Amino acid sequence: MSAAQTPAPAKLNPDTRRGVWLALVLLAVVVTPSFAMSAEALVATAREFAHPTLAWGAFIAYDVALVAFSFVASIYRQRGERALVVLAWLGIAVLTGLSVWVNHAHAVATGASVAAAVMAASFPSLVLFGTFLTERVLIASPAQVAAAATRAAEHEAAEAAAHRQRQQALLDDAAAARVAQAKADAEAEAAIARIRARADAESELAALEAAARVAERRAAAQDAITEHTSAENPAPQPVPAPVAAPAAVGAPAAPPTPPGPPTAPVVDDAARDAEVLRLVEQGMTDSAISRLPGMPSRATVGRVRARAAAAAEAPTGGDAQATLELVSA
């Protein structure tokens, strides 16, 4: 047997429903013959003065009354009416004494011995004692009733406390579930906000990239238009200004030439190509070079670059002037 198991009790507990029923059966077995013996004496005595069909009333008026008065006394005892309890037991005692005397007198009248007369007189006492024990078994005392009421109240209080605890547990679980749901909703909203922010940022970045591509295409188209316009309408070469003759002594000085917009310096093709190659070596692009004053168009700059690359791949020889002439050719 493990330590957690409780050993069975060695003796029976009689104060159970089965024990009460067993006691009542045994009391009935004991009291029934006493009722019958006492009833015979009471009925035989009553036939001496009453009609034979009414003679059984003597048994009811004496022995059955003992049982009735006993249970009435128990009711008064539960109510706490002590005076009525004393009165009921006084009536029980009177009826018991009369029944004992009638049973004894009937036995003596029939010529029974002294022992038989004593036995006949004891039957009402057995009825009274059996009734008293039956009443004690069936009906609890006031102290027992109060203890049972206390136990019932404690049980109800425990049940109410357990019910409140269960309700509180349910409320706590519901509150925890609401908190968890609110937290989950907040996390979901935060995730949705992050996704929307990321999508907005990606959309803005895509718009900026698209705008940048459009600007690049516009710049390329503008460069192509500029190159095409420069190729079709080359810039006119500036005409050298005439050298004014020295003024005669005493002659009035010529009025100064009004200032005008600056003109690009006049350079020949060889010097221009050399300047283009120098700017190319500095890392400038064709578009940037073509925008400088006095420089050719972007297509011409590209041709100069191509001729310079072809000259670099040709066999080396000569001096810088020969190289420049090859580029300008």
Please tell me the predicted confidence (pLDDT) of residue 232.
Answer: 59
User: For 131-182, what is each residue's pLDDT tens digit?
Assistant: 888 877 777 767 777 787 888 899 999 999 999 999 999 999 999 999 999 9
Q: Which amino acid is at 249?
A: V
- The alpha carbons of the chain give a radius of gyration, in whole angstroms, of 70
| Residue 78 and residue 56 in contact, taking contact as beta carbons nearer than 8 Å | no
Q: Is the pLDDT of residue 56 over 50?
A: yes
Q: Is the pLDDT of residue 96 over 80?
A: yes
**Strands (DSSP E) found in the chain:** none
Average pLDDT over residues 253-274: 56
Coil, strand, or helix at residue 63?
Answer: helix
**What are the extents of the domains in the chain?**
17-139, 142-232, 269-328
CA distance 275 to 283: 13
pTM: 0.40
User: For 214-245, what is each residue's pLDDT tens digit?
Assistant: 888 888 777 777 776 666 555 555 545 544 44
DSSP assignment of 27-38 equals: HHHHHHHHHHHH
Q: Is the pLDDT of residue 260 over 50?
A: no
Please tell me the predicted confidence (pLDDT) of residue 184.
Answer: 92
Q: What is the DSSP letter of 16?
A: S
219 vs 260, more confident: 219
Q: What is the DSSP letter of 255?
A: P
DSSP assignment of 92-150 equals: HHHHHHHHHHHHHHHHHHTT--HHHHHHHHHHHHHHHHHHHHHHHHHS--HHHHHHHHH
The fraction of the chain above a pLDDT of 70, given in percent, is: 79
For residue 207, give both structure tokens.
């718009």
95 vs 251, more confident: 95
Least confident of 130-139, 273-282, 311-320: 311-320
Residue 165 C-beta-side C-alpha neighbours within 13 Å? 6
| Residue 235 and residue 267 in contact, taking contact as beta carbons nearer than 8 Å | no
Please tell me the predicted confidence (pLDDT) of residue 244.
Answer: 47
